[in-house]
Amino acid sequence: MGTVTAVSRSAQYTFHKPNADVVRLLAGLGVEGDVHLGETVKHRSRMRRDPTQPNLRQVHLIHAELHDELRAAGFVVQPGQLGENVTTAGVDLLGLPAGTLLRLGGEAVVEVTGLRNPCVQLDRFQDGLLEAVLDRDADGALIRKAGIMAVVRTGGEVRPGDSVDVVLPAEPHAPLQPV
């Protein structure tokens, strides 16, 4: 079990999302008041390719441990500054399989759809940040550490201090891929 450490949203296409006391997740849509709210894709580059594709990126989650790692490497990063809606602690988000359900607080449930694919906007925020959220495993495969994406299955309010409960899908587990 983990904990929600921060919640954030932005009604505008901004890289940073201001922290809030509470966010409301809406089933099948995303974070109320967030620019990425909707059944179909809301990320600008993806909308240009095909605006009818489903929105698999309704909620962006990042583990607070990444912020700690980045601060140890000399970056100045706070919750919401990497564009995430929910910051968690105590859950290995990157190690979850696709289809994992996360209960956030007492009501809301999101289903993990995949990895965030980090882009050059990170370097526009702080030089070298893109490289800092990428790594290689022992076999040379790329590791993306910039968080995970999810869709809202059950709506509800989420606030800092709420618990994060993990429900793994039936096996075999599929590793997360960029979405």
In a domain, 79, yes or no: yes
Q: Structurally, how many domains does the chain consist of? A: 1
In a domain, 176, yes or no: no
- For the chain, give the percent of residues with pLDDT over 70: 100
Q: What is the pLDDT of residues 60-90, one digit of tens each?
A: 999 999 999 999 999 999 999 999 999 999 9
In a domain, 179, yes or no: no
Q: Is 65 helix (H, G, I), strand (E, B) or coil?
A: helix
Domain at 125, CATH number: 2.40.33.20
Q: Which amino acid is at 132?
A: A
- For the chain, give the percent of residues with pLDDT over 90: 93
Q: What is the pLDDT of residues 17-64, one digit of tens each?
A: 999 999 999 999 999 999 999 999 998 888 889 999 999 999 999 999
Query: Domain limits at 109?
Result: 2-167
List, in sequence order, every residue forming a beta bridge with 152; answer none if it has no partner.
110
- Single out the residue of 44, 125, 120 nearest to residue 77, CA to CA: 125
In a domain, 123, yes or no: yes
- How is residue 25 annotated by DSSP? E
In a domain, 6, yes or no: yes
